[in-house]
Structure 1
Amino acid sequence: MMRLRPLANLFQAMRFRILIVITIAAAVLQLGCSGTQQNGADVNAQQNDTANAAFANADEALAEGSRLLDAGETERAIEVLNQAVAMNGDLAEAYFRLGIAYSLVEFRDQVAADESVEPTPTPVPGEKKPKEIRSNSEIAFEKAVAAYKRMIAANREDHLAYYNMGRSYNKLNEDEDAAKALRQAVELKPDDSEYHTELGSILIKLAKYPEAVGALKKAIELDPNNLEAEELLEKAEAGRKRISFTTLPKDDKKASNSNTNSNSAPDEPASNKKPGPPVGGDKPKPPVANRPKQP
């Protein structure tokens, strides 16, 4: 029994040490968790401070909103860009970027809605259709167009305003107005490859393929590394070929129609047909009753 005491004391000391290690580890873990929670709270607070920050001017808010949008923080970008347009209602670029941000949110919500499709209720006869509500992105792009128009009214040589107004019209699917604005931008600055590319893209939407081909070739001439213009040029040339195959020249159409008419004319009834000239030079035989008798 005397020999077992040192072992018992040793085991007791080891248990004490293990308890100390476990206690220290638990304390460290608790401190780490609280630190992580504190860091998360600090990040959230920092995000809220950014969204609610009092910017010195609209341009500063626009810069921050653009940074947030490029970083994929769309909701925060919307908040900041709304501050920008609230400080300066003529800040066209802020409206344009706000429209893009709203478009991203609306697209995301639409995808989520499509995944949980509910049956469309059967319309009741005589019931008025609900008015279509304009989306936030449409309102933002419309305000962008209005702001760019004011910029152009102040400076008719502002090619960048024409360019961005054309892009805003494009977002609203007002393609004719977009093409008109972009043509003006190209006319004012014909050496800009990006302007020609955007114009070519709109002309493809309008199925004006020959003009689109010219614009896109010019874009590539100005910038041989313009990959977007090269891809659009392939589409424009394919569209031009489709038109050339389905559209005949006027002379060919007339010839085709005349041949079709001659080949498809209905046969005249036998009772109305007039006797034609003898075939092969033979004289027609007289009726049997009028033939002379043979000797």
Structure 2
Amino acid sequence: MGSSFSKYRIATVASLILLGESILFSSASPAPPASPALPLLAQAGGQTATDWLKQGLQAIQAGKVQDAIAAFKQATQLDPNLAAAHYNLGLALRQVGQLQPSADAFYRATQADPKFAPAFANLGGALLEGNNLQLANDYLQRALELDPKLGFAHYNLGLVREQQRDCNRAIASFKKAMEYSKNAPEPAYHIGMCYLQQSKLDKAKDAFRQAVKINPKYSEAHYNLGSIWFNQGKLQEALAAFRKSAEANSNYPNAYHGAGLVFMQLQQYGDAAQVLQFARDLYNAQGNSQWAKNAEQLLQQAQNLNYQPR
């Protein structure tokens, strides 16, 4: 029964790659130092490259990502050495799922300013999501040479090492990320994932608890706590964790699937059928046909058992 959980132990790796993707250069966050050999600012329609950069930032803040992309592109065309424009273009492209153009923009930011550590870190993150682990590692190492305290670079490097199944070095990187990004729950979560791979369950539980302490609505962390309790036969603790997972994200099907398994063990088949039906419907809605099928099979078992005399 416990193997039902294994599929989801690395499910959030890809979605959490760019921990630093919200870094934008606005009035509250100064732009990186300019290259010492910047040319005179070019103009288009009376607007300088910096004007277009500011316009793009305003569009981002207004939720108009496509307008921001157009503005950042205009800024980079007017001044190819404006690293902040390339960088923010990369962030905006990443936001709409254009991974390769995003990586290209981050690369141009590193060319415009070879000491721009966040650009190297996000370039490494984009390459990681594209499964180019060696090149991702190289750029992340460069980011950390430039800024050893850049928390999300340590985090992205930890993800590279986790993908490489090098759990000890991954944990070391995630611990560094926690040191420099104290409000980010993801490093603690991935420490827990690494400890799960090593079957160090008590340490995994501690790490997941740390993640939900930072972010009580971290549904995946609650779910993995529940899966550990379930596999250890501590059904009430497991059920409480799955409930917290569902409360944190009502559209997270794994939480309902896990609760269904607990109710099956407790022989509460009516409750099991209710949550398994919900899990099945969510899996279907999210295009996860295999796990929808698994939930459907369990649902039928629960319904059959619920109608049998006990």
TM-score by length of 2: 0.41
Q: Higher Cα Rg: structure 1 or 2?
A: 1
The structure showing larger relative contact order (alpha-carbon pairs under 8 Å, at least 6 residues apart) is: 2
